[in-house]
Amino acid sequence: MKRIVSVSLGSSSRNSRATFQAAGEEVTVERIGTDGDRARAVALIRDLDGTVDAFGMGGIDLYLVAGERRYMIREARPLLEAARRTPIVDGSGLKNTLERRVVERLAARGVLPLRGRRVLLVSGVDRFGMAEALEAAGSETIYGDLIFALGVPIPIRSLRGLRILARILLPVLTQLPFQMLYPTGGKQEKITPRHARIFRWADVIAGDFHFIRRYMPDALSGKVILTNTVTSQNVEELRQRGVRTLVTTTPNLQGRSFGTNVMEALIVALAGKRWEEMTPADYLQWLDRLGFEPRVEGLDGTAPQPGEAGSPETLAPAN
């Protein structure tokens, strides 16, 4: 049996565990939150190192990306170095492959038409593959990196602009305490509605769920949420706000969609390779082999049902 453990700087209230079959093997995936305590996260990785098949690094990225350039987050390095024997990944490999492909397929097959639609991507440097796929699909996209990470109320309206700002700011921002840029620990439990105007502007709200949830307004009537890492409680919160459709790029496993770091750790464990050896083609091959498909869930009863055109069952890999 394979055991995958995501050690997260996020809230321990979101901890969960699931056991299922993958590629003919029984697999257990587990998410353990440390409530923002980096020292505790490092100690947990050291304690489990060599006893599990792969680690996911949750609640923090190892790198932020701008085009072909990537910048290491200083505070992620101790977590990376704590794993001496067990592979550890942050989900960036899947963000660049799975999330890009999900957007392309949803748009091409009419499940999520994007041409001309207004999309708010709360952080483009966190999901550059998704950002590029949204632009290629013809959406009108606002990148909320300045708004949501830095509290600067300036929308970025082009991918080119995002690249330029990222190259200027990321060498500095990645050296700052990560909690200044992203909600960790107990901050993930709080909802403080802000930026209501930009939420109202968007038809589709995409990207990291913790950014979305932290600032989402009480009313999201008719919106599409494109994200992952949602629990059953999160789904109900979105339903109460009038969200029309929830799409998660990772599948629903026993009541929740796990983060890309967990799914990437699973693939690395099954592939028997270290993270540095994995290529985009490897990830795509394993995604096809595992049959992982996005979750498409109508929260107001209007989304396609299983078996209808545009339902999750129709999203099998194209030949």
Q: Does residue 267 form part of some domain?
A: yes
Q: Are 136 and 119 in contact (CB under 8 A)?
A: no
Taking only the tens place, the pLDDT of each residue in 201-213 is: 999 999 999 999 9
pLDDT higher than 50, residue 309: no
Q: Does residue 319 form part of some domain?
A: no
Q: Tell me, what amino acid is at 265?
A: A
Q: Are 292 and 57 in contact (CB under 8 A)?
A: no
Q: Does residue 58 form part of some domain?
A: yes
Q: Does residue 100 form part of some domain?
A: yes
Provide the CA 75 distance to its chain's centre, in angstroms. 19
Is residue 86 located within the same domain as residue 106? no
Answering whether pTM is above 0.85, one says yes
Is residue 134 located within the same domain as residue 57? no
Taking only the tens place, the pLDDT of each residue in 16-26 is: 999 999 999 99
Q: How far apart are CA 89 and CA 98, in angstroms?
A: 15
pLDDT higher than 90, residue 317: no
In which domain, by residue range, is 16 found? Answer: 2-91+254-290
Taking only the tens place, the pLDDT of each residue in 138-187 is: 999 999 999 999 999 999 999 999 999 999 999 999 999 998 888 888 88
Is residue 142 located within the same domain as residue 48? no
CATH number of residue 309's parent domain = 3.40.50
Is residue 263 located within the same domain as residue 310? no
Is residue 137 located within the same domain as residue 179? yes
How much of the chain, in percent, has pLDDT values that exceed 70? 94
Number of neighbouring beta carbons within 10 Å of residue 278:
19
pLDDT higher than 80, residue 315: no
Number of domains in the chain: 2
